[in-house]
Structure formats: C-alpha cells, structure tokens
Amino acid sequence: MPHVPLLGRLSFQEYAVLILGFLFIIVEHVLQIVILFLPKPIITWFYDRSLILFRKLGGTSWERPSEEKRASDQILNARDFGELCGIHGYSFEEHVVLTKDGYLLGLHRLPSKAGQKSAHPGTSTGKPVVYLHHGLLMNSEVWVCLTQAERALPFVLVEQGYDVWLGNNRGNKYSKKSIHHSPSEAKFWDFSIDDFAWHDIPDAIQYILDTTKAKTLSYIGFSQGSAQAFAALSIHPQLNEKVNVFIALAPAMNPAGLAAPLVDGLMKASPTLMFLFFGRKSILSSATMWQSILYPPIFAKLIDSSLLWLFDWKSYNISTHQKIAAYAHLYSFASVKSVVHWFQIMRNAAFHMYDDEVIPPVIRTSVSSYHPARFPTRNIVTPIVLLYGDSDSLVDIRTMLAQLPGHTVAKRLGTYEHLDILWGKKVDIDVIPHVIEALKEHRDGSRANGIGKGI
C-alpha cells in the first residue's frame, strides 16, 4: 500500500473537516469566478436581496438615524486611508520604502493636528515620532476606521503633539509591489514573519528616522504587528538603539491555538495543509467578493460568527455601528506562508523562525536532534510595555513573559478581547491613557532599569 503522510495521524472527524474544507474552497472559487464575470446590475440585485432579508429578520434597528450611524456610514464607504482621515479633518502624507530584498512598502504619516496641514511635507517636524504597525490580514486603515476621533489612537497621538507614522506589510493593499516579482507570481508571496523581521520593520524604521531626523522613535504594534517587533528587535541588536519604547497591544508571540478544536488539531498536525487549501499566494482573497454582495450588517454578522467559532471572541465591547464600519476595512492581503508560520509556532509552542523542514510531530523523539531557530526575544534591550485583554484567547501572558526580558511591564485590561483593544467602546478610557503614559515615560530615549514584570 502506498504511503499516505496523513494516514494514521488524523481521526475520522479530522478527515471529515479536511474534506469539507476542500469542498468549501472549491465552491468559493467557483462563486468568485462567476461573480467576476457578472454585470454590476446582477451584483446589485444580490446586494438588494440581502438587504430585504436583513429587514425581514428584524434588523431595522441598525438603520435608525443617529450620530454614530452617520459616522459609521462615512467610514463604511471610505475607499482608502486618506478618505478615512478626511472624515475627521486630518491631512496625511504617503511615503514608499524600498526594502533590501526589493519590496515597496507604503507608509502613511499624520504630521499635523486636525484642520492643519504641514507647511513642508516630507520633512522633519521636530516632534517626537511614533510608529504604529497593524496585525495579520490587516493594513494601516484599521487604526483610523473608528466612529469617534477620540477613540482612534493615531488621531489622539497627533493631538498630543506626536509625528505619527503607520506601516504596512509587504503584500497588503498599500504594499502590493516588488521590483523583482509580480503579485501574480507565487514567488512574490513567498514570505513569512521572518521577512517582516529581517526587512520590513527595520527598513521602515530607518526610513522614518532618516526623514524626520529623529534619533529614536516609539513603536506601537497590534497583534502580529507586535510579533514582528519582538522578532525584529531580537535579531537586530542595533535596532534596539533606534526604538525608545515598544508598546504591544494584544501582543502575539506563541498563541495556544484556535477555539475550534477540529481545525486547531488539524492545522497543528500538518500546518502545510494550508498550502493545499489556499495555494502559495495570498490567503482569503475572496473576502472582498463577499463584502460586495452582502448588506453590511449581514457581512458583519458573518465576521462575528467566524471570530466566535475560531477564537471564541464575543465582541461585546465593540458597538454594532463600529463593527459594520470597521469590518469593511478589516481584511487585507497576506501570504498563505505567513499563516502556515503561525500554525508552526502554535504546534511547537515556541516563537521560532519559519520551519522549512517541517518534520511531522509523530517521528520526533523526546530528545530531538532538530528544532527551528527561535527568535532570541530575551535579548531585547528596548523597554517593553504589554497591554493585553484578560479575555483574549490568543494571549497567554505568563508564557509570553517567560520568553521576554525582565524589564517587560504587562498591564491587564479587564474583559477585553483581541479586537476590543483597537475598536472597543471605551478604548479612550481603558487603553489610550496607558499608551500615552508609556510614551511620555520613554520618549526621551532613556532606558528603564530593573523594571519588574507585572500582570
């Protein structure tokens, strides 16, 4: 009998999930192709039918006029970062960074307060510099798609007198170009967290420092944006001298896994199954298709249900209007390889570099002769402040602190889940003040001495 790699390692239920997964992907790809060739009136017809269904199911309460509804509609319909900033009266700058391996990364900058414009764009403002970086499957829009300016961290920081920069990962909406490969080629998408750490983060930081003439900047990362900084700071000792404080929001390093046990077990057993499901380019590229044919509250409900199933996130701290507005800007392109990398990290319970060898767990002995290189995160010198939700299934704070240097400070946010830290109803009260406090403490570039860990 020929050797089948998965045979014997998966249960009947896991095989069922595998088969259903393949069927779902096939159906989705067929729908995507069909919709691609449909004329706009037919797509509009599907959208209108979903609206009628929503109203029949009693969803009209969302449509009642209110100030938040008005703001939500504006954000929902904003096409890009610039239009999102314009809603709240902010001007912005666009910059492009060429990484050492040939990717062009889009950077966004907020140099001046609401209603003002920089007199000399692209030059130093003399203000302290803050750099914000998004999470997995996101882009810089997630920071500015809030229904109130006082809950949007970048806007608050601008008003506090900071020169604010927002980064974008290679491959996403604002960084989908390379001087070597086209996005239609698999080689373009051949990147993981390793590449973000070796190139994207240090190259973006150096560009910002060169432009602003600042000696250091403060780094704020959300979710994978924090993982990329953990990785980059750990392998670039000189980068620690350029970052005066690293604030990690909903920090990600080695999450335990998914709340859906079958999917969690299947992906941990064979992370490279993701390549069979989604190929070797971008993942979930059909998300924009579903968004175009579904009425926004129905699309938001679909996202809510997916987050509940995968991560057990109930999203009680995010208002319905905020969800409808923000979910329209939630997704951006990412490589399948970067998601495979996360499942490798979950499987091995260690924050390590991408494992090219991929040895099945069943043949690994208790004393292994091989394991992928780990990011040496205990070597980070930059002061670290963690802001984590105690209801966030992706954050194991004790395990994380054990892998970080002794000067790390951890602050718990009661009842907060992962996305709540970005879009929660009370982030202006529960989250942003902690960020401002940490920035003021460290923005002069001083190093914290002997700061103990706290939870």
Hey, is 149 helix, strand or coil? helix
Q: Which positions ≥6 away from 42 have C-beta within 8 Å? A: none
Nearest one of 269, 235, 244, 201 to 10, comparing CA atoms: 269
Nearest one of 414, 417, 411 to 392, comparing CA atoms: 417
Cβ-in-10-Å burial (0-12, 13-18, 19+) of 413 comes to: buried
Q: Could you give the angle at the alpha carbon of 28 between the alpha carbons of 23 and 32, nearest 5°?
A: 150
Contact present, 438 and 245 (Cβ < 8 Å): yes
Residue type, 338: S
The tokens for 142 are: 């997630």
As a 3-state breakdown, the chain gives helix, strand, coil percent values, each rounded to 5, of: 45, 10, 45
Q: Which residues are catalytic?
A: 223, 392, 418
Indicate the helix (H) or strand (E) that contains 397: helix 397-402
Distance CA 183, CA 217 (A): 32
Cβ atoms < 10 Å from Cβ of 26: 10
Cβ atoms < 10 Å from Cβ of 366: 4
Nearest one of 278, 274, 299, 297 to 288, comparing CA atoms: 299
User: Which residue matches tokens 């000399």?
Assistant: 120
CA distances (Å), origin 344, targets 19, 73, 293, 355: 22, 39, 34, 7
Q: Count of residues for the chain?
A: 455
The tokens for 49 are: 């039918």
Nearest one of 294, 295, 293, 287 to 329, comparing CA atoms: 287
Distance CA 267, CA 189 (A): 20
